[in-house]
């Protein structure tokens, strides 16, 4: 797998642990290319018994995954390819999380920076997530663009934090710090930034060193929930909103006003509220 020619992923393996570093500058958006490469990665590791744990980190200390690429709907060919390869009953955005949730290996997110929208959905789809207390942030910002999360976020949040907190996260559309996210159950734990890599490495290596069959047995005992009906409800809600003139106006204004630039992404919630006002 280390020889795979990825353009947005840096992959290395050591003693049963694969480390996947997300690298899509300038702000690590989740593009169609990254989605395709993640699918290839998941497929390649699925039947690889030498890999027991997959850790996802970012090459950018500020942004784990900023959000889905705002230009992705213009990539008709790329989206069509992703749609054809998606599991039954999910859209192309939900497919990323569903593949991650169904991966036989243990998947762990090492969250040093910000993850919003589709990036936050990726974090919640992983088996575990550990975040830097001083620097990490999570947010579902879709409501600020007039839509709802469309990549599984509503379903993951309800499962992880409960309906009341899921409503707060989606409708308030704030950036949540790591300590609050951990208290809500959105992530496993917030740890000091200087200790994050060491904590994740220790957990990953300890899991990878377990006796043969233990990981598979635990995953059978604690399977990912079937979210089929929830995915359909979410997609219908997203599709109903995304084609409205108000949403198109907001999306058309987003890029010229600084979305997907480093400066704009640092305080994206304020930026989007300014655009919408």
115: its two tokens: 């993850």
Phi/psi of residue 56, each to 5°?
A: -110, 125
90: its two tokens: 């999910």
- Specify the residue for token string 């207390």: 133
* pLDDT tens by residue, 36-73: 999 999 999 999 999 999 999 999 999 999 999 999 98
pLDDT score of 74: 84
Dihedral over alpha carbons 221, 224, 227, 228 (to 10 degrees): -80
What is the average pLDDT score of the chain?
Answer: 96
Cβ-contact 12, 19 below 8 angstroms: yes
Decide if pLDDT at 2 tops 60.
no
- Specify the residue for token string 């390649």: 44
Q: Which domains does the chain have, with CATH numbers?
A: 9-276 (3.90.226.10)
Q: DSSP letter at 133?
A: T
Cβ-contact 68, 151 below 8 angstroms: yes
Q: DSSP letter at 127?
A: S
**Cα–Cα distance measured from residue 268 to residue 32, given in angstroms and rounded to the nearest whole number:** 22
* pLDDT tens by residue, 69-127: 999 988 888 889 999 999 889 999 999 999 999 999 999 999 999 999 999 999 999 99
Q: DSSP letter at 2?
A: T
Cβ-contact 238, 247 below 8 angstroms: no
> What's the whole-number mean pLDDT along residues 198-226?
98
């Amino acid at each position: 797998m280390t020889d795979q020619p990825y353009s947005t992923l840096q992959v290395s393996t050591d003693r049963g642990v694969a480390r996947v570093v997300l690298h899509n500058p300038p702000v690590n958006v989740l593009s169609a290319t990254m989605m395709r490469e993640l699918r290839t990665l998941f497929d390649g590791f699925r039947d690889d018994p030498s890999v027991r744990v997959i850790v996802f980190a970012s090459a950018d200390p500020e942004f784990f995954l900023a959000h889905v690429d705002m230009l992705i709907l213009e990539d008709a060919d790329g989206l069509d390819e992703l749609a054809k390869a998606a599991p039954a009953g999910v859209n192309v955005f939900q497919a990323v999380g569903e593949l991650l949730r169904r991966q036989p290996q243990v998947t762990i997110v090492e969250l040093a920076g910000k993850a919003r929208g589709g990036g936050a959905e990726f974090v919640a789809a992983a088996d575990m997530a550990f975040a830097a207390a001083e620097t990490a942030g999570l947010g579902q910002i879709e409501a600020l663009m007039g839509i709802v999360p469309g990549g599984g976020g509503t379903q993951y949040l309800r499962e992880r934090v409960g309906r009341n907190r899921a409503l707060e996260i989606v409708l308030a559309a704030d950036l949540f710090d790591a300590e609050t996210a951990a208290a809500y159950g959105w992530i496993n734990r917030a740890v000091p930034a200087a200790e994050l890599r060491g904590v994740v490495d220790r957990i990953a290596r300890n899991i990878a060193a377990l006796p043969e069959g233990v990981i598979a047995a635990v995953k059978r005992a604690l399977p990912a929930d079937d979210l089929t009906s929830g995915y359909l409800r979410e997609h219908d809600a997203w599709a109903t909103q995304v084609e409205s003139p108000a949403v198109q106006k907001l999306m058309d204004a987003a890029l010229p006003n600084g979305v997907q630039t480093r400066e704009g992404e640092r305080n994206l919630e304020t930026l989007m509220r300014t655009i919408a006002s």
